[in-house]
Amino acid sequence: MFIPFVTPRKQLSRRRGGGKSEGESGGSAGGGEAGTTGGSSSEGEKSSGSSSSSSGSTSGDSGVAAARSAPVTVLHTDKKATPYGPGGGSPSAVLSGEIFGGRMQGGGTRDQIFGTRTYGSGYPGISGRGVADRGFPFFFWPLSFEGRPGNGAYLQSNIEYGNADNSSRPGGGMTTASFSSAPTAANVSVFRILADETTTGSLLPDIFANCSRYMNSSSSNQILFFPPYNETGTAPPQPEQVIQYYRASSIALALDGYNNTSIFEADGTPDVPLPSSGIDTALLDCLNQTIGLAAPLITSGGQWTAIPNNMGLLSLMLGVWLSSMFI
pLDDT tens track for 53-77:
333 333 333 333 445 668 999 998 9
- Can you tell me the distance from the alpha carbon of 118 to that of 142, in angstroms, rounded to the nearest whole number? 12
Average pLDDT over the chain reads 75
> What is the per-residue pLDDT for 14?
25
Q: Report how many helices (DSSP H) and strands (DSSP E) the chain contains, helices first.
A: 4, 8
Is the pLDDT assigned to residue 319 strictly greater than 70?
A: no
| 152 vs 49, higher pLDDT | 152
pLDDT in tens, 212-259: 999 998 766 655 567 788 777 788 999 999 999 999 999 999 999 999
- Can you tell me the distance from the alpha carbon of 40 to that of 16, in angstroms, rounded to the nearest whole number? 12
Q: Per-residue DSSP letters for 175-202?
A: EEEEEEBPTT-SS--EEEEEEEHHHHHH
> What is the per-residue pLDDT for 147?
67
- Can you tell me the distance from the alpha carbon of 107 to that of 194, in angstroms, rounded to the nearest whole number? 23
Backbone angles phi, psi at 46, to 5 degrees: -85, 155
pLDDT confidence bin for 91, thresholds 50/70/90: very high
> What is the per-residue pLDDT for 69?
66
Is the pLDDT assigned to residue 2 strictly greater than 50?
A: no
Q: Which of 77-81, 103-107, 216-220 has the highest mean pLDDT?
A: 103-107
pLDDT in tens, 296-307: 999 986 444 443
Cβ contact 37:288 at 8 Å = yes
- Can you tell me the distance from the alpha carbon of 38 to that of 28, in angstroms, rounded to the nearest whole number? 6
- Can you tell me the distance from the alpha carbon of 169 to that of 77, in angstroms, rounded to the nearest whole number? 9
pLDDT confidence bin for 153, thresholds 50/70/90: confident
Contacts 24+ apart (CB under 8 A), 38-42: 38/3, 38/114, 38/285, 38/288, 38/289, 38/292, 39/114, 39/115, 39/116, 39/117, 39/243, 39/244, 39/288, 40/114, 40/115, 40/116, 41/116, 42/116
- The percentage of residues in the chain with a pLDDT greater than 90, rounded to a whole number, is 54
Is the pLDDT assigned to residue 151 strictly greater than 70?
A: no
For residue 313, the tally of other CB atoms under 10 A from its CB is: 10
> What is the per-residue pLDDT for 234?
84
